[in-house]
Amino acid sequence: MTDAAIAPTEVTLSDRAVKRVARILSKEPDGTVLRIAVAGGGCSGFQYEYNLVQETPTDDDLVLSRDGATVLIDSMSVEFMGGAEIDYVDDLIGQSFQIKNPNAVASCGCGTSFAV
């Protein structure tokens, strides 16, 4: 599959995000993964939630696993995040995970909430 033909339910991790997630998980107990979810709230209507959890994927989870980084996203959240890229940014303003979501029509300045 080429980048031009990304499936609507596909979510990708940038190389920077993979490295940061792997580094975070390496300091946690075995079996810990990063769960990303979309929840109602935030200043734009929806917000991303990031949680370190010790759980195995369910049948409806999207599992992104590469180079020591494992991210789980539930199927309801994937509906809002399809085609998105999860990135990690480290700049003068600060460090954060940022989701480049093609489904978002608006987002707040902090980048953690969005509208569809």
Q: Domain segments of the chain: what residues? A: 6-115
pLDDT digits (tens, 9 = 90+) for 60-102: 999 999 999 999 999 999 998 989 999 999 887 788 898 988 8
Q: What is the mean pLDDT of residues 11-36?
A: 97
The predicted structure's pLDDT at residue 3 = 45
Strands 113-115 and 46-54: antiparallel
- Residue 3 phi, psi (nearest 5): -60, -30
Closest to 14 (Cα-Cα) out of 73, 89, 72, 77? 89
Average model confidence (pLDDT) across the chain: 85
Whether the pLDDT of residue 110 is over 70: the answer is no
DSSP tag of 30 = T
CATH of region 6-115: 2.60.300.12
For residue 10, the SS3 value is: coil
Q: Is the pTM of this model over 0.85?
A: no
pLDDT above 80 (res 112): no
Residue 80 to residue 83: CA distance in whole angstroms: 9
- Looking from the CA of 69 toward its CB, the CA atoms found within 13 Å total 21
Residue whose entry in the numeric block shows the structure tokens 């769960």: 35
